[in-house]
Amino acid sequence: MKNIQIVKYTDKYREALLVVWEQSVLATHDFLNPSDFQDIKELVQSIDFNAFEVCCMLENSKVIGFIGVVDRKVEMLFLSPEYLGKGLGKKLLDFAVSKLNADKVDVNEQNTKAVAFYQKYGFKAYERTDKDDQGRDYPLLRMKL
């Protein structure tokens, strides 16, 4: 993994970020039903990524992942599927913890790889919800370092 850098989001990365989000979710969130996926996709497409701390991971100036933090909580961490399992998620999380003071995250309980990733990093679940923040039937684990 050469030429990897983490940079502050600007609108020039928006389209690439949305592509990474979609590919990542399709590869990792197999528990989502298709209509919920479409609803969530529309929601994500409406986000103003300038409104909170978003940083993009670039390889040779191509967006391969990103992380977003609001009030010390990781709200989004996504990588292009071909970059999963290579230590880059940990690198993004290290950045968020050390530079953005992140110490909390909500994870879909059914996303068992993500739950294991955060647990291995040192996050512990302190609360479980029956539904996600939009009221859909996807339980969340609220975790903190």
Taking only the tens of pLDDT, the chain with its 145 residues reads: 678 999 999 999 999 999 999 999 999 999 999 999 999 999 999 999 999 999 999 999 999 999 999 999 999 999 999 999 999 999 999 999 999 999 999 999 999 999 999 999 999 999 999 999 999 999 999 999 9
CA dihedral 32, 36, 38, 44 (to 10 degrees): -90
Q: Which domains does the chain have, with CATH numbers?
A: 4-102 (3.40.630.30)
Q: 106 - beta bridge partners?
A: 142
pLDDT digits (tens, 9 = 90+) for 78-117: 999 999 999 999 999 999 999 999 999 999 999 999 999 9
Query: Distance between CA atoms of 41 and 118, rounded to whole angstroms?
Result: 24
Task: Note the pTM of the prediction, 2 decimals.
Answer: 0.95
